[in-house]
């Protein structure tokens, strides 16, 4: 394997006295889709929040695109090319769809014209968002909000995006559409790290997967192999 785009080594994290990540190591090569699965509370969300620098009490090394970013603040990790779609989408209430999209461009320092063009491109790619640009974003359906959150993270053209539970609370037809979007992104050269409760979906669209349990990586391998192994899914991925 070529040098990994994202290389996480011996990641530890604490919430108060609780040692929630205990030496997690994982790597993602450029152009891969990697899934992070495991039951509720296994440490999946904490892992990607730590990768984004959002956990105050942490240790371990995070390398991205050849640079050690483990000590950098969150906004500098974004600048390095890490996009992140957090759990529950985090659409900002009180703002329209267009304004929520503009948030994704603020750090890029574009002029108004370039900003408008970028948002028009999103509107074409996601017609459902395009039709609702002036609408208050919080009134969108769960699936539309998820698309908005993903589109917002893609606007700055990151090298890689981290997705936390993108299929949560979304109707099945849209889940398929989203899986298709992820595959299409990868064909375009994007790298994805996908945290999912929906193990089947995650393993079907990813190349490799890590199984997390109680803050440790307990299994890793090709997604198809894990998908074919019912014991792993029963033991570590039941809700």
Partner 1 sequence: MQLDLIAVQLFTGVALGAVFVLLSIGLSVIFGMLGVVNFAHGAFYMTGAYAGVFCLAVTGNFWFALAAVPLLIGALGLGVERFLIRPLYGRGPDYPLLLTFGLGYVLVEAVRILFGTDGMPFDTPSLLAGGIDIEGLGYFPAYRLFVIAVTALILLLLWLLLERTRYGLIIRAGARDPEILSILGLDIARVWLLVFGLGTGLAALAGLLAAPMRSVNPEMGVAVLVEAFVVTVIGGMGSLLGGAIAGLLVGIVVSLTALWMPQMSTISMFALMTLVLLIRPQGLFGRGLSR
Question: Which residues sit at the interface with partner 1, rule CB under 8 A?
Answer: 52, 54, 56, 73-75, 78-79, 84, 86, 90, 92-95, 99, 102-104, 106-108, 152-153, 156
Q: What are phi and psi of 98, to 5 degrees?
A: -60, -45
CB of 59 to partner 1, least distance (A): 17
CB of 115 to partner 1, least distance (A): 9
CB of 141 to partner 1, least distance (A): 19
Closest CB to partner 1 among residues 91, 232: 91
Closest CB to partner 1 among residues 115, 209: 115
Closest CB to partner 1 among residues 157, 225: 157
- Residue 212 CA to residue 201 CA, distance in Å, equals 17
DSSP letters of the chain? -PPPSEEEEEEEEEETTEEEEEEEEEEE-TT-EEEEE-STTSSHHHHHHHHTT--SSEEEEEEETTEE-TTS-HHHHHHHTEEEE-TTTTPPTTSBHHHHHHHTTGGGT--HHHHHHHHHHHHHHSHHHHTTTTSBGGGS-HHHHHHHHHHHHHTT--SEEEEESTTTT--HHHHHHHHHHHHHHHHTT-EEEEE-S-HHHHHHH-SEEEEEETTEEEEEEEHHHHHH-HHHHHHHS--
CB of 219 to partner 1, least distance (A): 29
Instruction: Compute CA 20 distance to the chain's CA centroid, rounded to the nearest angstrom.
Output: 20
Closest CB to partner 1 among residues 90, 117: 90
Closest CB to partner 1 among residues 54, 133: 54
Closest CB to partner 1 among residues 95, 121: 95
CB of 166 to partner 1, least distance (A): 15
Closest CB to partner 1 among residues 120, 176: 120
CB of 88 to partner 1, least distance (A): 9
- Residue 90 CA to residue 106 CA, distance in Å, equals 16
CB of 104 to partner 1, least distance (A): 6
Indicate the pairing of strand 6-15 with strand 58-64.
Answer: antiparallel
């Amino acid at each position: 394997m070529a040098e990994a785009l994202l290389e996480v080594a011996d990641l530890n994290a604490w919430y108060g006295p609780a040692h929630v990540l205990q030496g997690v190591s994982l790597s993602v090569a450029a152009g891969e889709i990697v899934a992070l699965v495991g039951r509720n509370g296994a440490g999946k969300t904490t892992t990607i929040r730590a990768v984004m620098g959002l956990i105050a009490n942490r240790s371990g090394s995070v390398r991205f695109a050849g640079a050690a970013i483990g000590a950098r603040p969150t906004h500098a990790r974004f600048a390095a090319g890490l996009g992140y779609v957090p759990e529950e989408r985090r659409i900002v209430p009180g703002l329209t769809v267009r304004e929520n999209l503009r948030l994704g461009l603020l750090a890029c320092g574009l002029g108004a014209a370039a900003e408008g063009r970028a948002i028009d491109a999103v509107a074409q790619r996601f017609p459902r968002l395009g039709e609702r640009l002036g609408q208050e974003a919080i009134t969108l359906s769960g699936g539309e909000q998820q698309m908005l959150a993903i589109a917002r993270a893609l606007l700055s053209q990151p090298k890689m995006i981290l997705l936390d539970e993108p299929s949560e609370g979304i109707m099945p037809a849209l889940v398929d559409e989203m899986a298709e979007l992820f595959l299409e992104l990868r064909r375009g050269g994007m790298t994805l790290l996908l945290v999912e409760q929906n193990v089947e979906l995650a393993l079907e669209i990813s190349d490799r997967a890590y199984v997390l349990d109680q803050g440790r990586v307990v299994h890793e391998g090709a997604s198809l192999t894990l998908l074919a192994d019912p014991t792993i899914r029963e033991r570590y991925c039941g809700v």
